[in-house]
Amino acid sequence: MSAALPLRTREIQLASRPHGRPVPENFRLAETALPDLQDGQILVRNEFMSVDPYMRGRMNDAKSYSAPFRLDAALDGGAVGEVIASRSAAHKVGDVVVHQLGWREFSVVDAAAATPVPAGLAPASAFLGALGMTGLTAYAGLLKVAEFKPGDAVFVSGAAGAVGSIVGQIAKAMGASKVIGSAGSAEKVARLLELGFDAAFDYHNGPVVDQLREAAGERGIDVYFDNVGGEHLEAALSVLTVGGRVAMCGAISQYNSTAPTAAPRNLAVAIGKQLTLRGFLVGGQRQHAAEFSTRMAGWLADGTVRYDETIVDGLENAPQAFIDLLDGANTGKMLVRTG
């Protein structure tokens, strides 16, 4: 490795496993030596990294769909940055790539695990959000998992977040009869209306089921895109029409729970209403990535879809950004500018 290149990197390690809500003491800012670059590897100076709700589950020492983070080791997750050294024909110095070794300033990445970012299509940060896994989650969850069709009335929880805000806009673009969103503040509700949602409410302002019924009217809803779980899922089951569909993407209201959470008390209505509830992971929807990328690029270009970002500066502030994300402090995608 050239002397002009960095030999060390700062990184965020998991110092202890959270019990309930994470606290800053669960994390550690450390400096470690970068390994020598091997054939087929690249060195990336990270510009942005993503913090995402699913990471909370990986902080537990529990078997899940994704391996737990290791204690006293760097966390990982989506990042985008510039290649500053390469021993791979697939990526040259100066390329911008997306990879999964975030939570650090510099990353040595296997070339096969890095995806090039097309120049000029959108800012690099968008490839962690609207044009990345976030956007694919929204697109595939709505159109493939929930099997949305024109004329459907759609309800999205966590609608001002990175995924939810895009779900609502895609539904409008694809001919929804009504799109309803829930969010956690008056400012977020106002933003949803700016983005084209037909109705939105602050879930702090009363029982979710009452506010949802008022927004949906006698027609009810045909599709529920669930980012929250808990009371929101229970409310949606009450308001869904016969044959309604639920795409279960996340349950952020329960991620910090220290006791088992109750299932929706009205789950039995799924029988008489002949509802479909389908959980999904974006990793199982990669076959739709090319279709999604083409469509989303067009929607962004013509303004059909807009996206918000909440950007926190400094790798050292990544743990607090993650904690704030779980508390709903973000509008749109929560990102940390690392470089």
CB 125 within 8 A of CB 51: no
CB 278 within 8 A of CB 248: yes
C-alpha dihedral, 66 to 276 to 253 to 326, nearest 10°: 50
What DSSP assignment string belongs to 201-250?
A: EEGGGS-HHHHHHHHH-TT-EEEEEESS-HHHHHHHHHHEEEEEEEEE--
Nearest to 261 by CA among 270, 251, 269, 271: 251
pLDDT at 253: 83
CB 330 within 8 A of CB 324: yes
pLDDT at 175: 98
Point out which residues pair with 180 in neighbouring strands: 155, 199
> What's the rounded Cα separation, in Å, for the pair 326 and 73?
22
Q: Can you list the pairs that 213-220 forms with residues at least 24 positions away whose Cβ atoms lie under 8 Å?
A: 213/238, 213/239, 215/155, 215/180, 216/153, 216/155, 216/178, 216/180, 219/153, 219/177, 219/178, 220/153, 220/244
pLDDT one-digit tens code per residue, 136-177: 999 999 999 999 999 999 999 999 999 999 999 999 999 999
> What's the rounded Cα separation, in Å, for the pair 67 and 87?
28
Output the CA–CA distances (angstroms, integers) from residue 47 to 41, 85, 215, 267, 316, in the order listed: 18, 15, 41, 44, 14
| Amino acid at position 106, single letter | F
Q: Helices in the chain by DSSP H: which ranges?
A: 55-58, 133-140, 162-173, 186-194, 208-216, 230-239, 269-272, 289-302, 318-326
What is the enclosing helix (H) or strand (E) of 182? strand 178-183
Q: Cα(first)–Cα(last) distance of the chain, in Å?
A: 20
pLDDT one-digit tens code per residue, 14-41: 999 999 999 999 999 999 999 999 999 9
What are the residue ranges in the chain where pLDDT is below 70?
1-3
Domains and CATH numbers, the chain: 8-129+308-337 (3.90.180.10), 133-283 (3.40.50.720)
pLDDT at 1: 44
Length of the chain: 339
pTM of the model: 0.93
Nearest to 298 by CA among 159, 144, 131: 131
